[in-house]
Structure 1
Amino acid sequence: MRTVIVRTQQKDQVVDITDTVEQYLSQEGPEDGLCSIFVANTTCALTTADLDPGTDLDLLDALRHMLPHLSYRHPHDPDHTPDHLLSSIIGPGLVVPYSDRQLMLGTWQSVILVELDGPRERTLHLHAF
């Protein structure tokens, strides 16, 4: 297992972590298997996406428009609640199959971290098995 820190630069940001995961696979774990990727934070998430130019911003815009404007009850900062909710909806982890130490992603698929409350340092835990 390896822990990796990802530094984000913006409030809302999509970070392609595919190369980070594949670098880990090239150095550790079996040649074929599954790679578990988990982000240990409550205001960012992991998923896969097509990262053609502009699709990162399309994703972020669509996510922000998903949630209604409500009176949230988050005790220390109600304005921060949508960040937590979107993170929970997307989820904190992925399991991706790999072969020959390469993720078995679709042609246009990338593994991404979705930052919802940056800029911050985010903690990723990677485990190949």
Structure 2
Amino acid sequence: MLRTFTVSTHKKDQVVDITDTVEQYLREAEKTEGLCSLFVAHTTCSITTADLDPGTDLDLLDALRHMQPNLRYRHPHNPAHAPDHILSSIIGSSLVIPYQQSRLMLGVWQRVILVELDGPRERTLHLSTF
């Protein structure tokens, strides 16, 4: 099964919890267990897992921006845009998570999140199960 869906972001930097959306697609899958592969088809956002207690989304975004060195970037399109690409590459554009009984096998506090680094935008994700 391959599904494509979009996520709308509303801020320059934003964390969006997509766990429930992913599990909705898993309920429609032919198999009730296997591996769920997620891929975000963009270079200025990423996908990972995180604890989303109140404020931890902002802590993550603040920490990411704090890690950025003050460099002279050479990105030909827009040098100010280069850190967004770099942070996205560091976090990554894909995840593979096992699932059972049509539910992701996440830890107690884990959520699947899209990390927006150049919003607001409409982001495209591809989900497949195997």
Counterparts of 2:80 and 2:30 in 1: how far apart (Å)?
41
CA separation of 1:87/1:116 partners in 2, compared to 1, >3 Å: closer, same or farther? Answer: same
Consecutive unaligned residues of structure 1, counting only runs of 5 or more, are none
Does the residue aligned with 1:24 lie in a helix, a strand or coil? helix
4+ residue segments displaced more than 6 Å: none
Name the residue aligned to 1:75. 76
- Aligned-pair Cα RMSD in Å: 0.5
Provide, for residues 67-101 of structure 1, a one-character-per-residue CA deviation record: whole Å limited to 9, x for no partner: 10100000010000000000000000000000000
Q: What TM-score results when the alignment is normalised by the length of structure 2?
A: 0.98
Name the residue aligned to 1:12. 13
| TM superposition shift of 1:28 | 1.4
Name the residue aligned to 1:23. 24
Provide, for residues 2-26 of structure 1, a one-character-per-residue CA deviation record: whole Å limited to 9, x for no partner: 0001000000000000001000000
Name the residue aligned to 2:3. 2
Name the residue aligned to 1:93. 94
Does the residue aligned with 2:59 lie in a helix, a strand or coil? helix
Name the residue aligned to 2:53. 52
Identity of aligned residues (%): 73
Name the residue aligned to 2:64. 63
Name the residue aligned to 1:122. 123
